């Protein structure tokens, strides 16, 4: 796991001063490390007996697609507004300054589905919690969350405390 940690570089003051951005691009560039990351993110989901992977726009898509293939389940995507072409449900959620919205196709999941929600980084947990809310609106069950890394100092885990949560790395 130390090799994974070293492959994520810090970019100071991006996207704004005071923020240290965790850049996953070097990890993605290394096929061996990318494979290790996918396998590590899949490990707990096997025990959760999931029927689908729900990937959050946009970097969640990078990890969600290969995870779905490895787990032998379907992939469902959650997107920002006006990106999905079919009938959809949406949820608005609070950001540090303002609000944002996520959408999912209304037929993406049903009551029989148990899903793992996937994204690259868990920060404050707002986007992940909003995704869980969308899944609930469809009647499906969140079996757990899987992230490549969490920024533990932002306490996003606290917002998801009612669920199984796996992060391969913690910063």
What secondary structure letter does DSSP report for 58?
T
Q: From 89, 160, 87, select the one nearest 123 (Cα to Cα).
A: 160
Catalytic residue among 39, 96, 133, 150: 96
Q: Is 59 a catalytic residue?
A: yes
Active-site residue identified among 2, 3, 57, 59 = 59
How many C-beta atoms surround the C-beta of residue 40 within 10 A? 17
Residue 3: active-site member: no
Give bridge partners of residue 145 from the DSSP assignment: 117, 165
Q: What are phi and psi of 166, to 5 degrees?
A: -125, 130
Cβ-based neighbour number of residue 131 at 10 Å: 27
Q: How many CB atoms are closer than 10 A to CB 153?
A: 9
31, burial (CB in 10 Å: exposed 0-12, middle 13-18, buried 19+): exposed
Write out the two tokens for 108. 């993406």
Q: CB 104: neighbour CB atoms within 10 A?
A: 23
Active site residues: 59, 96
């Amino acid at each position: 796991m130390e090799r994974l940690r070293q492959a994520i570089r810090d970019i100071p003051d991006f996207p704004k001063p005071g923020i240290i951005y965790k850049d996953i691009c070097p990890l993605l560039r290394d096929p061996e490390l990318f494979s290790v990351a996918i396998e590590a993110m899949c490990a707990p989901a096997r025990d959760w007996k999931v029927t689908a992977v729900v990937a959050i726009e946009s970097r969640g898509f990078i990890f969600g697609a290969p995870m779905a293939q490895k787990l032998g389940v379907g992939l469902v995507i959650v997107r920002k507004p006006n990106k999905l072409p079919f009938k959809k449900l949406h949820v608005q959620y609070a950001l540090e300054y303002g609000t944002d919205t996520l959408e999912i196709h209304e037929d993406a999941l049903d009551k029989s589905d148990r899903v793992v929600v996937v994204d690259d980084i868990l920060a404050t947990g707002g986007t992940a919690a909003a995704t869980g809310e969308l899944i609930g609106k469809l009647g499906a069950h969140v079996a757990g969350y899987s992230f490549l890394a969490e920024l533990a100092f932002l306490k996003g885990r606290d917002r998801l405390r009612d669920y199984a949560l796996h992060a391969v790395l913690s910063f």
